[in-house]
Structure 1
Amino acid sequence: MRRSIVAAAAVGVTALALSGCAGTAEPGGGEAQTIKIAVQSDPGTLNPITNATNASESVSTFGYESLLFYPTGEEPQGLLAESWESTTTSVEFTLKDGVLCVDGTPLTATDVKSTFEYAAADETGSPYKGVYFPAQGLTIEADDDAGTVTFTSEAAQSFLAETIGALPIVCASGLDDPAVLDTEFHGTGAYALESSSPGQSYTFTLRDDYTWGVDDTTSKTAGLPGTVEISIIESDSTAANLLQTGEANIAQVGGSERDRLKSTEFAQELEVPLRPGLIFFNQAEGRVGHDLAVRQALAQAVDRESVGPVASAGRGEQITTLVSEFGAACTAMDSSSAIPSYDVDAAAAALDDAGWVEGADGIRAKDGKPLSILMLYPASESQGVTAAIELLQTEFKKIGVDAVPTPSASYTDVIFSGGDWDIVWAPIFTSLPSDWAGILGGEFPPNGGNWTYNANQEYFDLVGEAQALAGADSCDAWQAAQDSLFSNLEVLPVYSSTSTFYGAGAEFGMSKSILAPTTIRVTE
């Protein structure tokens, strides 16, 4: 049995695979195979520019591609781009020859430019704006004859090529009327959407004209599945059952459900730090988290050594950085000294000093307003995370805080829309430290994506210093910025958590956060 450990982002994907026949393209000249994949929640709208959820990315990757491909733990490779040259303020991508959209039309440099212009438009509301590309001060030039796209940023960016290279590219047929992107695929991916039943399944068939994949993958590559059926499966237990009964070739399983799979032989196992436990605070005016003293008290009330093992089912460790060892850059950062220590007495004293008085019921109040918080978390999380949320509720009550667990199947909609929440357990995994400048910066909702309402000017200044440095030379500066995030409690890192992909009769790889379609190979 071959085992390997790789990283993935906070992707809620469960993969299931069954061998079968299909009347589609036949890779390597043999009989086409069917692979079944399941995600833990329905992606909803299929627009790859407006929907940044893990479920959406896990589905859209079959129909859309980006300029670069991100093999775990390695340097980016060209996907739609043949080559690129970059500095901290500009990057020029040269497109591969012969790239075709799903409708058979050639992909042009203008299509790439238009995709970014669509994503940058205020009316689009793309959450990638300010994360994958600068929200302001970006100019784009396209040369269709030369096949080049040049991006120039007024502000320096440490990883300009790496971030711009991650945005899914949409073909002209989709950009002409973006409304069609909600239900149709208009990209260059190796697979075409054959049918869909929202909330249940999505079926893709291998294109017969795909020739530009990473590692020279084409429609004729041996072992590449001819049909991919994506289903919605929420339960780790169900995934484990399918593996044990031989009904699944590929499945992702988390928590203790993996224990019963130890005796089973698999072609491949990939353990991924999939869903890091991070607590974010709503700092909007009028929310209790707007007061740093309250954020500090809540953070000091969290016993990370107790909460973490519960959340991860004993398979993890404390987080001291927002970029794990499996990230693409600055993986050695360690901001443990900036994380508040567990101290219930200090937490209670901080609330006393801030004027929050404990009542007869043990709950504090100030100016007649009880200290009550909504603890938002993804409804699809594991039993371990649910138990950890309940433990946090108990910990917060010790310092006089009434914490109300609030599971949500669409928690990202809540936070991005400026909805009702005070703290959120959000499993956000990034591969670059600069990603956080976009996630925790910019305008507040609904005008921007700064959903924590972060106004930490020290962090913004430190980001500016880090962005002026290129690549690895920027890591010390990025750690200083990360220290500021932790000490000012924009985010409290708790514990890493892993999930495992199992392959029986199939092998696969990942790009950044998700299963990469053209890496799937049927081996039996």
Structure 2
Amino acid sequence: MRRVLTGIGSAALVGALLVGCGGSPGTDTRPTDSIILGVQSEPDTLNPVLGYAVEGASKIYDGLVAYDEKLEPVPALAEKLPQVSPDGRTVTFTLRQGVTFHDGTPLTADDVVFTYRAVLDEKTDSTLRPAYAAINEVSAPDQRTVVFNLKYPYAPFVKRTTLGIVPAKLLAGQDVNTAPFNQRPIGTGPYRVESWTAGEKLVLTANEAYWGGAPAIKRVTMAFIADDNVRAARLRSGELDGAVLPAKIADGLGELSGHRRWDNPTSDYRMISMPMNHPVAGDLAIRRAVDLAVDRDGMLRALLNGQGKPAFGLISPDAGQWFDPTLTRSGAADAAAATKLLDEAGWTVGGDGIRVRAGQRAKFTLMYPAGDSLRKDLATAAASDVRKVGIDVELVGLDWAGINPRLGRDAVLFGSGSPYDPDFDLYDSLYSALGGKGYANPGRYANPAVDDLLDRARATNDTNERVRLYHEAQRKVAADLPNIGLVFLRHTFIVRDAWTGQLPRTEPHDHGFNGIWWNLEDWTPRR
């Protein structure tokens, strides 16, 4: 049986998002039992314990639950949603019968226990550990039952159990950080790894024994192409069957015969993470001036062709009750207000037009991933906007290996965003104790009052109280401005019109197998 999808008018949603790119799919003679997809980034590892394809974005693994097209949890390796104790501190799953790993060995509760204990092990270099801080213990009373004992009621815990499950027998007794498994994994998912050529591609083949039914697309190639323009060129030439592209570049392709386009809603933001200990960017007046001076509306028009919304925080205005509506304002620049604020803070204009205070020039460095054309364009636009009010921003394009050692010392044009629960964004991005741990809290922001609000919000199951706490946290963060929000994106996908079964849904920042191909295993060839 296939994973159950709840009906919310999916056909209507597809119709609203779909834009035809012309051509007749009937003239395409390329195979439909394989697909080649162009993506921007390559994973560092294929081990979910180390952070690969979190939130169910992998085709190699399954979690205890998965997300349906409404982003609600549905059973995956679990035969049903879990039983939660009245106090919210005991969560019990029963595993689906008959599930096997790709090598034919059966899935057991011991594999689930091993996976979560490995994430929690301090010896494991897992960026996921903070996400599972609520777990006190995980145990297996029998081979089909998994029990999580929590330190406190953690409202979004079930949504965290999309974590892919690994086979204990292949990793027990090994250093998980360096195990060969990380490049040659075994999972329970609809696809198994055929090969991984670093810097080039990941090739997957169908798991014919998949508990959800064998996929119709038998071979999937993820081509790693960092440069947006190169992905577009390879899509146009027919080397790719599908790709994710910035809207501006997708528009430049024009009518691409035999393809369809989706402009997909997301929670994916772009913001400037400001280093809080920097002598200039760490000054609140500078951060407020930058926030006022950037022209978000102009960015949306010129760089995104209108595909997105202004961002004034980490929670999207489309997130319903979780977004604090008091944060909404015009996306236009207010250079006059920024100038007045800087004048009052003692930043005076120097002879070269750049402000100075106590001998310190109003200058900081803004890094961006060099191969990401949109982030480069956003960084360039932001630097131009703030220079008009006397702040000098030096732009530096680097790969992530060059950016990582400088996080916390220089500003970075960052992207992230999760549609599943506000805890996933706010806690990971703002909690003080996470500063310096991977990509969490890259600017090293620390506000004890915000920490307290986030702790309390994740520890109550009262939805109304969670909303109140998250609204208060958003207001406090908006006053501190550790991050300068720029835009929320819509992700643009162009895919060869050879398959049916696509179900667009709001997606997170992480592309992977999110976006239009989140349910690729359910696609069927167009007849």
TM-score over 0.5 for the pair: yes
Once the 2 structures are TM-superposed, how far is the Cα of residue 354 of structure 1 from its aligned partner?
A: 4.2
Identity rate of aligned residues, in percent?
24
Q: Which residue of 2 aligns with 1:410?
A: 400
The one-character-per-residue Cα deviations of 1:28-70 (angstroms, maximum 9, x if unpaired) are xxxx811112211222333333346xxx669971212222211
Paired amino acid for 2:377: A
CA distance in 1, matches of 2:494, 2:15: 11
- 2:288 aligned with 1:296: yes
Asked if 2 retains the 8 angstrom alpha-carbon contact of 1:375 and 1:421, the reply is no
Q: Which residue of 2 aligns with 1:50?
A: 50
**Residues 268-283 of structure 1 mapped to structure 2, 5 A cutoff:** 269=262, 271-273=264-266, 275-283=268-276
Instruction: Count the aligned residue pairs.
Output: 484
The one-character-per-residue Cα deviations of 1:445-498 (angstroms, maximum 9, x if unpaired) are 545743221212222222234234426432233222222222221333322222
Paired amino acid for 2:67: Y
Asked if 2 retains the 8 angstrom alpha-carbon contact of 1:90 and 1:152, the reply is yes
Q: What secondary structure, in the 3-state scheme, does the structure 1 residue paired with 2:281 have?
A: helix
Instruction: Select between 511-520 and 149-158 the one with higher mean Cα deviation.
Output: 511-520
Once the 2 structures are TM-superposed, how far is the Cα of residue 206 of structure 1 from its aligned partner?
A: 1.3
**2:422 pairs with one of 393, 411, 433:** 433
Once the 2 structures are TM-superposed, how far is the Cα of residue 192 of structure 1 from its aligned partner?
A: 1.6
Taking a change above 3 Å as real, the CA distance of residues 471 and 263 of structure 1, as seen in their structure-2 partners, is farther
**1:315 pairs with one of 298, 301, 307:** 307
Given the two structures, how large is their TM-score scaled by the length of structure 1? Answer: 0.81
**Residues 67-78 of structure 1 mapped to structure 2, 5 A cutoff:** 67-78=64-75
CA distance in 1, matches of 2:162, 2:327: 30
Paired amino acid for 1:49: V
- 2:141 aligned with 1:167: no
Asked if 2 retains the 8 angstrom alpha-carbon contact of 1:6 and 1:73, the reply is no
Asked if 2 retains the 8 angstrom alpha-carbon contact of 1:249 and 1:506, the reply is no
Q: Which residue of 2 aligns with 1:151?
A: 148
CA distance in 1, matches of 2:90, 2:29: 46
Asked if 2 retains the 8 angstrom alpha-carbon contact of 1:62 and 1:190, the reply is yes
Gaps of 5+ in 1: 8-17, 22-31, 212-216
CA distance in 1, matches of 2:429, 2:259: 37
Q: What secondary structure, in the 3-state scheme, does the structure 2 residue paired with 1:425 have?
A: strand
Once the 2 structures are TM-superposed, how far is the Cα of residue 443 of structure 1 from its aligned partner?
A: 2.0
The one-character-per-residue Cα deviations of 1:175-200 (angstroms, maximum 9, x if unpaired) are 54222243221322222211221001
Q: What secondary structure, in the 3-state scheme, does the structure 1 residue paired with 2:442 have?
A: coil
Given the two structures, how large is their TM-score scaled by the length of structure 2? Answer: 0.80
Q: Which residue of 2 aligns with 1:14?
A: none
CA distance in 2, matches of 1:471, 1:311: 41
Paired amino acid for 2:213: T
CA distance in 1, matches of 2:141, 2:15: 42
Q: Which residue of 1 aligns with 2:103?
A: 103
CA distance in 1, matches of 2:317, 2:436: 34
Taking a change above 3 Å as real, the CA distance of residues 148 and 323 of structure 1, as seen in their structure-2 partners, is farther
RMSD of aligned Cα (Å) = 3.5
**Residues 128-143 of structure 1 mapped to structure 2, 5 A cutoff:** 128-131=128-131, 133-134=132-133, 138-143=135-140
CA distance in 2, matches of 1:38, 1:298: 35
Once the 2 structures are TM-superposed, how far is the Cα of residue 433 of structure 1 from its aligned partner?
A: 0.7
- 2:444 aligned with 1:453: yes
Q: What secondary structure, in the 3-state scheme, does the structure 1 residue paired with 2:477 have?
A: helix
- 2:511 aligned with 1:520: no
- 2:213 aligned with 1:218: yes
Paired amino acid for 2:125: G
- 2:363 aligned with 1:372: yes
The one-character-per-residue Cα deviations of 1:108-156 (angstroms, maximum 9, x if unpaired) are 222222222222233323222223x22xx52123225252222233233
Q: Which residue of 2 aligns with 1:400?
A: 390
Taking a change above 3 Å as real, the CA distance of residues 381 and 424 of structure 1, as seen in their structure-2 partners, is same
Q: What secondary structure, in the 3-state scheme, does the structure 1 residue paired with 2:248 have?
A: helix
CA distance in 1, matches of 2:429, 2:453: 15
Asked if 2 retains the 8 angstrom alpha-carbon contact of 1:296 and 1:340, the reply is no
CA distance in 1, matches of 2:332, 2:226: 35
Q: What secondary structure, in the 3-state scheme, does the structure 2 residue paired with 1:288 have?
A: coil
Q: What secondary structure, in the 3-state scheme, does the structure 1 residue paired with 2:117 have?
A: helix
Q: Which residue of 2 aligns with 1:422?
A: 410
**Residues 230-379 of structure 1 mapped to structure 2, 5 A cutoff:** 230-240=222-232, 248-259=240-251, 260-261=253-254, 264=257, 266=259, 269=262, 271-273=264-266, 275-283=268-276, 285-319=277-311, 322-324=314-316, 330=321, 333-337=324-328, 342-379=333-370
Q: What secondary structure, in the 3-state scheme, does the structure 2 residue paired with 1:437 have?
A: helix
Paired amino acid for 1:293: A
Q: What secondary structure, in the 3-state scheme, does the structure 1 residue paired with 2:449 have?
A: helix
Q: What secondary structure, in the 3-state scheme, does the structure 2 residue paired with 1:289 have?
A: coil
CA distance in 2, matches of 1:184, 1:5: 40
Once the 2 structures are TM-superposed, how far is the Cα of residue 287 of structure 1 from its aligned partner?
A: 4.7
Paired amino acid for 1:273: T
The one-character-per-residue Cα deviations of 1:207-229 (angstroms, maximum 9, x if unpaired) are 23211xxxxx312x5xx211111
Once the 2 structures are TM-superposed, how far is the Cα of residue 245 of structure 1 from its aligned partner?
A: 5.8
Taking a change above 3 Å as real, the CA distance of residues 255 and 337 of structure 1, as seen in their structure-2 partners, is closer
Gaps of 5+ in 2: 1-10, 19-27, 509-513
Q: Which residue of 2 aligns with 1:207?
A: 207
